[in-house]
Amino acid sequence: MASAQATTLFINAQIAGEEGPRDLLVENGRFVAIEEGLAQSLPAQGYDVDAIEIVDLKGKLVSSPFCDTHLHLDYVFTARKPGAMNETGTLFEGIQRWSETKSDLTVDEIKSRARKAVAMEVHHGVQYIRSHADVTEPNLTSLKALLELKEELKDIVTIQIVSFPQEGMYSYKGGADLVEEGLRMGADCVGGIPHYETCREFGEKSMHKVVELAAKYGKLIDVHCDETDDPNSRFVELLSALAYAEGIGEMTTASHTCSLGSADNAYFFHLTKLLKAAKINFACAPTENLYLQGRQDTFPKRRGITRVKELTDNGINVSLGQDSMQDPWYPLGNGNMMIILDYVLHLAQMMSFPEIDDALKFLTINGATTMHLNDQYGLEAGMPANFIVLDASNVFDAVYQRCGILRSVRDGRTLFTSATTIDSDISLLQ
């Protein structure tokens, strides 16, 4: 039997889809058992119950931690820098403003801003973040900063980093080489931005390069793909076909894919067959794209988001992202994934009761699938004891109330509770 100090029994947990409360036994940072009435049966199994820490979760909803699968930690809190103001509210002016104001970045100041953003996300129940790091900058300052932060905060949050060419692989001189250098330095994913490249041929070439690099270095893929209202921006088709041919579709994510919101149904119908076969993932950033897209429209004005409902109904994985926190692309964004979920349910018109009752999947298992967390995620015996407690007793009420987080547990250790706010373990984030 494990030592008492390393053993905690969390009792009266309401788990989505389960009848009645469950108890969660945690030893040495992992779930040992999740069952009904565990507290009563432990003595018969040889446990000294008096030596076990017992935490009563009082019938509140317990979930795997939230995943924010699309965030730019190097950009956070830069919206008010001189010269960073995005007057038109378009994606392309955002990129221009960032490009013009990024020359003074330092590792320390990026880490300080990103730390604050991570703290906000963690307090909203997030323990898994996929962050892009802009590598179209010769010193790779963003990537260096985020790689350091990933290591420093690994006991609090899992951060995956994308080697992301914000200004293009071929439209920025040496962009493709910088992406590759980022992978050698330790980035987890290959990024791309084909719709931003100066011509379609460069965009297509970049998709070939992304898949080639992923195969060469054994990395995941996350491409900013078709983030435009242009229905003829169809790089997701090429990305999917290449990833499918390489057999790495499940390791591939297409982020944004706003153009699918404008594409015609006949095209989408045909494309769906490929997406299902390739098993690629989609990451949607609803608040940001609602704000950025449709800027060339008068009325009717497009919503800017990808086909979340139709992809989901076809069995294709869709997860969500905050994307921005006060950066040149979006002036708000506070890391509250319940707000992101609320937006997507409205924008995608996914409000049947079964859809609402199942909605937390977008922030949990779907996110873990996008991040390819495989056997390291979930409320199951043997998994890392990572979970959150929501201030609701069922999923409907959690969504209905856009409820807050009462407790976050990582490797069996409580990071914070709503009563303590912050304990010493999370002070790294301050």
Question: How distant is the alpha carbon of residue 33 from its chain centre?
Answer: 28
Adjacent-strand bridge partners of 55:
10
Dihedral of alpha carbons 241, 243, 246, 248, sign:
negative
Question: Which among 27, 137, 197, 227 is annotated as catalytic?
Answer: 227
Dihedral of alpha carbons 233, 239, 241, 244, sign:
negative
- DSSP-derived 3-state class of residue 13: strand
User: Alpha-carbon distance 129 to 302, whole Å?
Assistant: 28
Distances (CA, A) of 39 to 10, 21, 382, 384, 406: 9, 12, 19, 20, 22
Cα–Cα nearest to 69, from 128, 156, 125: 128
Instruction: Specify whether 227 is catalytic.
Output: yes
DSSP 8: E
Distances (CA, A) of 339 to 67, 194, 335: 14, 29, 9
> H or E segment at 178?
helix 175-185
Start-to-end CA distance of the chain, whole Å, equals: 37
For the annotated catalytic residues, the residue numbers are 227
